[in-house]
Amino acid sequence: MFSPERPACEVADVVARSRDRRGVMLFAATVRHAEEVMASLPPDLSAMITGDTPKGERASIIARFKARRIKYLVSVG
């Protein structure tokens, strides 16, 4: 089971270390883990993709990430 404090601390570290990066991909172990990670990221700069994300939405999210309209992309599996 994941502790809510742990992902928040780890994500804060990733955000701090990636200040000068244009894009950051984060890989989560489960959907719940991905949701916990997303809760600690800037919402306007972040998106999440899971196995249940419809193909069209997935393509749109990836396109936004590649175009640098979002900085953080959280993926499950």
Structure tokens at 28: 């989560």
pLDDT band at 2 (very low <50, low <70, confident <90, very high): very low
Query: What is the per-residue pLDDT across 5-56, written as a single tens digit (0 to 9) for each?
Result: 566 778 888 888 888 989 999 999 999 999 999 999 999 999 999 999 999 9
| Contact present, 52 and 75 (Cβ < 8 Å) | no
pLDDT at position 19: 86
Flag whether pLDDT at 68 surpasses 60.
Answer: yes
Q: Give the strands of the sheet with 72-76, arranged side by side.
A: 24-28, 72-76, 46-49
Degrees (nearest 5) of the Cα angle 55, 49, 60? 50
| Contact present, 34 and 72 (Cβ < 8 Å) | no
d(CA 16, CA 59): 28
Query: What is the per-residue pLDDT across 49-67, written as a single tens digit (0 to 9) for each?
Result: 999 999 999 999 999 999 9
